[in-house]
Structure 1
Amino acid sequence: MIFNQIKQNQMIKKIKRILMAIILLVFVGITLISCNSKPNKKELADYVNPLLGTSSSRWMLFPGPCLPFGMVKLSPDNTDEEEYKLGAGYEYKINSISGFSHVHSWMMASFSTMPTTGELKIAVGTAANPDAGYRSRINNKNTKAAAGYYATILDDYNIKAELTATTRGGFQRYTFPKTDSARILFDLKFTEEEPSTIVGASIKKVSNTEIEGYVMREAGEWNEYVVHFVARFNRPFTTMGGWKGTTILHELNEISITEDMDIGAFLNFDVQEDQEVLMQTAISYVSVEQARLNLVTEMDGFDWSFESAHNNAREIWNELLGKIKVEGGTESDRIKFYTGLYRAYSSKTIFSDVNGKYVDACENIQQVDPDDFSVYGADAFWGSFWNLNQVWSLVSPDKSEKWVRSLLELYDKDGWLHDAPGGLEYSSIMVAAHQIPFIVNTWQKGIRGFDEEKAFKAMKEIQMNPGQPHECGGYAGNRNLQIYMDIGYVPANVGPVSNTLEYAYDDWCVAQMAKSLNKEDDYKYFMQRSQNYRNVFDPSTKYIRPKYAGGPWLEDFSMVKGAGDSGHSFGFGSKDYVESNAWQFSWFVPHDLKGLIELMEVDEFNSRLEEGFKNSRPYFTSDFVNIGNQPNMEAPWLFNYSGKPWLTQYWVREVLDNYFGTDPVDGYHGDEDQGQMGSWFVM
């Protein structure tokens, strides 16, 4: 009996041990399955969608990779030559690609590369007829774009193309099919934002793994520039050929032109055994030697590892995006937010090389200490005070400081403070001198690692000396400044009435800097000038209205004519209001909203503004509220100053939810102008 009891107890213990082992195994298995099935945690770069808004967009809104303010913005292009120039570059709805070009800075281009197989074609082809040239069809389902990476399948050639970038270089990986006709084209004349004239160009074989070249362009009435480049490969090409015009030349070591004509080169590769070709490129606006220095400095560390270069780009973007951590919201909100923050840093451009050399407006080679700052260029700062100025100074104060130092460097070398140093030239695009609010914003936020006396001197000069053609090309300064100083406004027969408002705002900004530097006389003078907006406020209509010199108001006056439209609209306005109209520009007194409300009267101010928002649904790109262009981007916040802050909260949310989207077609319903709409969402 006792023996049986002992035996029974032992059996129970054994069963318990077996059950415990089974339970443990099940638990471990479930844990492992759970761990393996759990998706990897998203990094901030994963929320960036560079394809967002790339339909009906701009040259600078490109889907390809770059680093913050990158000189190289390596991206696919696919628009045709007859496309309106602001639409040049990449259009998501066109299901083909004409090549991958290296520069997408405002009104500047470089060279395009394209891998192909089969019959040699030197014409690009068109969106409607890709077979007329070397263009290839693509399927957007096979396209991936992320911060620092782009990939697609070129269907006509069965080639996978992958792109990543450094600041001054591009890294491409082409995976060919097995073929005896693999090649890479280098095309120096293709569709660009500002149609240019080629003055001279050359492509030269350095070795069977490297080529170099340049293309010199004249664009518009103010920009002449040379893009020098070097391209090297991880394996030798078998032969090099090229073309001039429609003439194809084989077995070349160099091809060049000294007139405006089509020119390019093609490199043939043997891919029967190994189908992967890696290409690294770099550019410089100074010389081929500088391009090679940029290439060696930025690419050698990757040792031909595409993944290493891609991861480097991704890490740099993660670090910058990580300056702001958001909580709550939806997945869509995070995509909008981090894509917007990415855009704030991807369009404007570094123009100096790794050792600080750059070419100034007079085509002289200059040099700065690259450890101190780089030299930057871009379109105008027009409207950046609503959004971009704040984002840069809050997220990356070091970059704002370097931008100011760059502006002062160009002022030292060229004599005038640049308002739009596109290509580091005096482009004089847009109006006023809104580099002034950028500098003052930086100073007022306590970012002061620059010469404040020089900065004030440069700002005061541009607000006191009438604009004029610059000796090295372009136009420097304010075109209507003299009469503005003489009579207190810009009369209707001289220039846009809106210039009065923009000059007055810049005056106020100079006054704030003067006050900070204890320059009392300057402070009083510019504060007085900042009230000039009152001279063009018509009390009978309560609108900002064009007025002739001597007093009569412009008779043919419309409040809402010509500043927007539903859907995608840049809103180019009329001759009296730059890219705007009376309804929109009558709010433009950011420095004295209290005074404006007194003139307009608070009930009229609120009722007009609220009615304007109601009339501007769903996208707020109308002849009333037009968030899609600079003059009226501040509209939702005006209620904060007129006693109805809850309406600011309401309409800001309406804009965030309806104007901004998450896909290529409805990403932005207006002009994502070099990060301004992205910054609007972030702020």
Structure 2
Amino acid sequence: MITRRRFLESAAVAATLAHMESRSMMALSQKAVAKDDVLQWVDPRIGTGGHGHCYPGASMPFGAVQLSPDTYNDGWDWSSGYHITDDSIMGFSHTHLSGTGVGDLLDFLVMAGTGKAKLVPGDRKNPEEGYRSRFTHSTEVTTPGYYSVMLDTYKIKAELTATERVGVHRYTFPKSDEAYLIVDLHHAHLTKRGTTVVSSEVELAGDTLQGGHVTNGWGNGRHAYFSMQFSKKPKKVEIFSDDQPVSGKKAEGVNLKAVLYFDTKANETIVVKTGISAVDTAGAAKNIAAEVKGFDFDGTRMMAAAAWRRQLGKVRASFIDETHRTIFYTSLYHMSLGPVLFDDVDGRYRAMDNTVKTLPAGERNYTTFSLWDTFRGAHPAYTIIEPERVPQFVNTLIRMGEESPAGAPVWPLWGRETECMTGFHCSSVIAEAQKKGFTADYKRAYAMLQKGRADDVQGMTWHKEHGYIPADLEGESVSKHVEFCYDDWAMANIASRLGMTAERDERLKMSKGYLNNWDASVGFLRPKLSNGEWTTPFDPIEMRHWEKWWDYTESNAWQTTFTVQCDPGGMIKMIGGNAPFVTKLDALFNQPSTLPSYAPPDIAGMVGQYAHGNEPSHHIAYLYVYAGAPHKTQSRVRSLIDTMYKAEPDGMQGNEDVGQMSAWYFLSALGFYPVDPVSGIYVLGSPVTTGATLDMGRGRVLKIEVQRANAADCYVKEFRLNGTVQDKAWFRHSDIANGGTLTFVMSATPNESLGTDVKAIPPSQEI
């Protein structure tokens, strides 16, 4: 197991974004749009600054292609290949990660130019040394499914759009007898070792350029292939190996590039279609044939826009504050960028054992599951608005676990297991889907989960046999143990519904193991040594007690003590009951925001020792409900909504992490959030929407009604579930599974009787 920080070794510090034109770029793409067109409420620039790690380019909902500009391919804040502080572009590659804490992909860069072709990208400080181009953000247009920019160095307009498996470029050239396109197969996200490309192949087959490469980056041994077609026949094509021309139309090596030369008239356009595949070039070509007929860029762009209107139109929400609406719909957009499709139109896909397999008829395959992050909020949101995809996600995870030498997926990327982060939270995604009634082969899933982490991975043997993980034998021992407890809880649920009583009881017992790290004398979950003694000295803001490794994963004892999502009631009892728990939780938010000097930048968005910029904190503000104090959740959640997100490039407090940072906002803005996704329980917060309807598929609609006298009213005075007044501040997924209505009556003052009775508190560890 590696954390994001350990992979990167060191974090690059992004330059402070001084000033950006507020909405001018978006305005360019919103001319003549319908008044209720959801696309106008999305700003893909959000998260492209700060540490958001988002890309601004073109994709389809959950599409395999993410065609986007690369401004740099090295460093932590360029995990997606783009940062809004840059003023030059290397080119446009076809695969990007959305908001991850580690960089990879950036496959098959295409760049347009004029003059003598240059074979290296050049330095950001001196872009003219290579094929880079200067640009200004004022010429960028970015909207779902479309991106464009003026390449100022060459006076070329670049436009991008996409289908599910094909990226489509359009370049508008000036008059030139030295126009060219360069295709760089050596381009990839770098590591401290330099390039991650270990082998490449390229071939000009008739009028088609095709090839692929294997990379050893975050996804070690990752295969990617392409097939590329051009609307205009080039006058000459040259292939280069190690930046030297090679004879013939085919080459193999590490550093391969192709340059296609053209004569162009003023304002002449050249369209490029690029199919991608993890299988082979034939699969990439089939993807083009199936998804893009001819070279109709505008038609493809319109199809992409229509797909995004359908996707974003699943939720119709109104807001008093336009900023809230922009952040809300951009959050839904970001949630719809992953996991990403990972199969060809013929059903073939690259499995986790690096073999090529064919899907059963009707199935789809996905990848890029940031499970450590997304099990918390994104996947629960998908159970509401993506009912068709949930079984596909579950079936994909089952296949992955069966086909992977590593077992149950942890953080799978393009047919490779990265082993990034702690736990194996595919168990949560699977158990939640089962709880909520989605169809899948859960007996097969349980067998996969048992097999998948039976070996001593991340200290699993100690967790299973001794009830804790020794800090002197395993790094990040406390976090790993607590997260394994949650995975045990998930497996207990699956086993129970399969009638496997003994297995259920065993996993339930293991899920209580978090108690073995509780030290009442200090009031925190604390690292314990193999001899049973506590580590010393102890300071709750520290992340490690020695230099060898950390004891907590991207967190410290303050945050980790409140991460017992498998048993909130047991955690409250552990701390001393409702009143002491509320006092302790208040203290978390009221502590100084001091962190050790070595703390990773993931721990951001600090409110006391609460860290909204990192996912383990995301459920914490909702825990007050489990202690009979929901009004404290309501005020705290509203504060976080208003302070942790902005409608600006530097608008996120931490990495987007393939939808999770956005999912917190999306669900919280609607008024609820899952502390324990496996339970199927949603806890009330403080909605900022003035009303919403969510299309749950098959004619089912979830309606949210919000009554408030003032926009600042953050307290729930009354909550009605399907028309019935409730004395509790929570509800079950089963209450809305066939559609329903949630009604919030808001007030400026707290209702301190709602949800306070012991009978009104959400159940804990209820199967």
TM-score, length basis structure 2: 0.77
2:60/2:163 contact within 8 Å kept: yes
Quick check: 1:322 aligned with 2:322?
A: no
C-alpha deviation, 1:273, in angstroms: 6.1
Structure 2: distance between partners of 1:72 and 1:636? 36
Query: 1:114: which partner in 2?
Result: 111
Higher-Rg member (1/2): 1
Match 2:212 to one of 211, 214, 228: 214
- Spell out, residue by residue over 1:446-501, the C-alpha distance to the aligned partner (whole angstroms, 9 max, x if none): 112x11211122223335x124xxxxxxxxxx321111112111011122112111
Alignment of 1:370-409 (within 5 A): 371-409=361-399
1:489 to 446, 468, 471: 468
**Are residue 63 (structure 1) and residue 56 (structure 2) matched?**
yes
Judged with a 3 Å threshold, the aligned counterparts in structure 2 of structure 1 residues 592 and 517 are, in CA distance, closer, same or farther, namely same
**Contact 1:223-1:425 at 8 Å conserved across structures:** yes
2:522 is the counterpart of 1:541: yes
Is it true that 1:234 corresponds to 2:213 in the alignment? no
Decide whether aligned partners of structure 1 residues 138 and 42 sit closer, same or farther in structure 2, where only a CA change above 3 A counts: farther
Match of 1:141 among 133, 138, 143: 138
Counterpart Cα distance in 1 of 2:568 and 2:126: 55
| 2:160 counterpart letter in structure 1 | L
More helix by share: 1
Indicate if the aligned counterparts of 1:560 and 1:623 stay in contact, CA closer than 8 A. Answer: no
Matched, 1:612 2:588: yes
Q: Hey, what's the Cα distance between the residues in 2 that align with 1:433 and 1:631? A: 15
Q: Quick one: distance in 1 between partners of 2:162 and 2:368?
A: 20
The correspondence of residues 395-544 of structure 1 with structure 2, limited to 5 A, is 395-414=385-404, 416-448=407-439, 450-462=440-452, 465-467=454-456, 478-495=457-474, 496-544=477-525
324-333 vs 390-399, which moves further? 324-333
Letter in 1 for 2:343: S
Cα distance in 2 for residues equivalent to 1:636 and 1:407: 30
| Aligned AA (2:355) | N
Whichever residue aligns with residue 591 of structure 1, its letter is C
| 1:336 corresponds to 2:315 | no
What is the letter of the counterpart of residue 676 of structure 1?
Q
Rounded to whole Å, the distance in 2 between the matches of 1:135 and 1:433 is 41
- Tell me the CA shift for residue 383 of structure 1: 3.1
Q: Distance in 1 between matches of 2:465 and 2:437?
A: 35
- Given that 1:466 and 1:479 are in contact with CA atoms closer than 8 Å, whether structure 2 keeps it comes out as no
Give the deviation of 1:129 after TM superposition: 1.3
Residue 340 (structure 1) shift? 0.8
Q: How far off is 1:622 after superposition?
A: 5.8
Uncovered stretches (5+) of structure 1, i.e. residues with no partner: 1-36, 468-477, 564-572
Match of 1:593 among 559, 568, 572: 568
CA distance in 2, matches of 1:273, 1:492: 67
- Counterpart of 1:182 in structure 2 is 179
Equivalent of 2:42 in 44, 48, 53:
48
- Kept in 1, the 8 Å contact 2:178–2:262? The answer is yes
User: 1:217 deviation in Å?
Assistant: 2.1
Question: Does the aligned pair in 2 maintain the 1:417–1:459 contact within 8 Å?
Answer: yes
Measured in 2, the distance between the counterparts of 1:406 and 1:549 equals 38
Distance 1:39 1:372 in 2: 36
Quote how far apart the aligned CAs of 1:560 are.
1.2
Q: Partner of 2:168 in structure 1?
A: 171
Partner of 1:637: 622
Residue 550 of structure 1 corresponds to which residue in structure 2? 531
Contact 2:50 2:651 in 1 (8 A): no
- Contact 2:80/2:96 (CA < 8 Å) preserved in 1? no
Larger strand share, 1 or 2: 2
2: CA distance between counterparts of 1:88 and 1:556? Answer: 39
Cα distance change, pair 514–361 in 1 and its aligned pair in 2 (3 A): closer
Residues 242 and 639 of structure 1, relative CA distance in 2, 3 Å threshold: same
Pair 1:272 & 2:259 matched: no
Q: What are the superposed Cα offsets for residues 83-125 of structure 1, whole Å, 9 maximum, x if unpaired?
A: 3476461010101111000111463341100000123211111
- Rounded to whole Å, the distance in 1 between the matches of 2:34 and 2:227 is 38
Question: Who is 1:74 aligned against?
Answer: 67
Distance in structure 1 (CA, Å) of the matches to 2:308 and 2:624: 36
SS in 1 for 2:372: coil
Task: Please give the alpha-carbon distance, in whole angstroms, between the structure 1 residues aligned to 2:32 and 2:200.
Answer: 54
> Per the alignment, do residues 574 and 668 of structure 1 end up closer, same or farther by CA in structure 2, a change over 3 Å counting?
farther
1:372, distance to aligned residue in structure 2 (A): 2.1
Specify the SS of the correspondent of 1:326.
strand
Shift of 1:348: 2.6
Q: For residues 381 and 307 of structure 1, do their structure 2 counterparts lie closer, same or farther at Cα, with a shift above 3 Å needed?
A: same
Query: For residue 217 of structure 2, what is the amino acid of its counterpart?
Result: A
Q: State the secondary structure of the residue aligned to 2:472.
A: coil
Q: Give unpaired runs (5+ residues) of structure 2.
A: 1-30, 98-102, 594-602, 668-767
For residue 651 of structure 1, what is the aligned residue in structure 2? 636
Q: Deviation at 1:559?
A: 0.5
1:281 aligns with 2:274: yes
Q: 1:297-316, aligned counterparts within 5 Å?
A: 297-300=290-293, 303-316=294-307
Quote the residue 2:743 is aligned against: none
Change (3 A) 1:72 1:109: same
Q: How many angstroms does 1:74 deviate by?
A: 0.5
Q: 1:419 corresponds to which letter in structure 2?
A: V
Contact 1:108 1:193 in 2 (8 A): no
Residue of structure 2 in register with 1:22 after alignment: none
Deviation at 1:138, TM superposition (A): 0.8
Residue 285 of structure 2 corresponds to: 292
Which residue matches 1:471?
none
CA distance in 2, matches of 1:541, 1:187: 57
Structure 1 residue 58: Cα displacement: 6.0
CA contact under 8 A between 2:209 and 2:228: conserved in structure 1? Answer: yes
8 A Cα contact 1:200 1:256, kept in partner = no
Q: Residues 574 and 607 (structure 1 numbering): CA distance in 2 closer, same or farther, change over 3 Å?
A: farther
1:93 pairs with 2:74: no
